[in-house]
Structure 1
Amino acid sequence: MIDLATLESSVFTPLVGQSMIIRSGDKSATLEVVDVSIHHHKFPGSTREGFTISFRGQQGLRIPQAIYSLEHPGVGVMDVFITQTGDGPKGSEFESVFT
């Protein structure tokens, strides 16, 4: 399991355009990494700049905001909080914010 406290945006930048698997119990879905945006500031006590990962799933996909296992063969498995931000013409939109 990846330690989120040490995770940097540079881990996800090369994954833009690639798929990750999101899992909760026996259910799973595929999400594409569409953007990694850096916040350009550090929170007090943090050693990294905050960043947001934007994902897209199939249109009509509904996932309640919660902590999910996120998997990628080149990165590994991590538990992250994911929030749905919309459902547009290109698919359902999600994000995970790291501070």
Structure 2
Amino acid sequence: MAATADLAALRIDDFTAHLDAAFDVQAAGGVLSLKLAKVDPAGDSGRAGGAFSLIFVAPKGPWLPQGIYPVTHPAIGIMEIFLVPIGPRPDGNGYQAIFT
């Protein structure tokens, strides 16, 4: 089982190394695989290393409601992150997480 990641310790570089990788989300209906589609800096926030935004894409289908979900990646671990649906994308359903 993957270790729980310290959200405060995560930096943008922890994610840019995994662009286009699969992240598993535990949702009410089971596990959903999300692809990390975009990683962007989001300015200064007081967070060491600065704020950043992640865009994930899920396969087309039912949407996850906005909320906190356990998201797992083999190298990063388990993260409880707040995912917000941001609308359809050509390749599926888009979701955003912002680290500030």
Q: Would the TM-score normalized by the shorter structure come out above 0.5?
A: yes
- Judge which range, 9-18 or 22-31, deviates more: 22-31
Candidates 21, 28, 44, aligned match of 1:42: 44
User: What residue is the counterpart of 1:98 in the other structure?
Assistant: 99
Aligned length: 97
Partners of 2:49 and 2:86 lie apart in 1 by 24
User: What residue is the counterpart of 1:17 in the other structure?
Assistant: 20
Q: CA deviation at 1:36?
A: 0.4
User: What residue is the counterpart of 1:75 in the other structure?
Assistant: 76
Partners of 1:20 and 1:83 lie apart in 2 by 15
* Stretches of structure 1 lacking an aligned partner (at least 5 in a row): none
Structure 2 residue matching 1:5: 3-state secondary structure: helix
Question: Once superposed, what is the RMSD of the aligned Cα atoms?
Answer: 1.4
Structure 2 residue matching 1:94: 3-state secondary structure: strand
User: What residue is the counterpart of 2:88 in the other structure?
Assistant: 87
User: What residue is the counterpart of 1:28 in the other structure?
Assistant: 31
For 1:81, the aligned partner's letter is F
Q: CA deviation at 1:75?
A: 1.3
Percentage of matched positions with identical amino acids: 26
Q: TM-score, normalised by structure 2?
A: 0.89
Structure 2 residue matching 1:12: 3-state secondary structure: helix
* Stretches of structure 2 lacking an aligned partner (at least 5 in a row): none
Partners of 2:45 and 2:77 lie apart in 1 by 26
- Following TM superposition, the consecutive aligned residue runs of length 4 or more in structure 1 with deviations greater than 3 angstroms are none
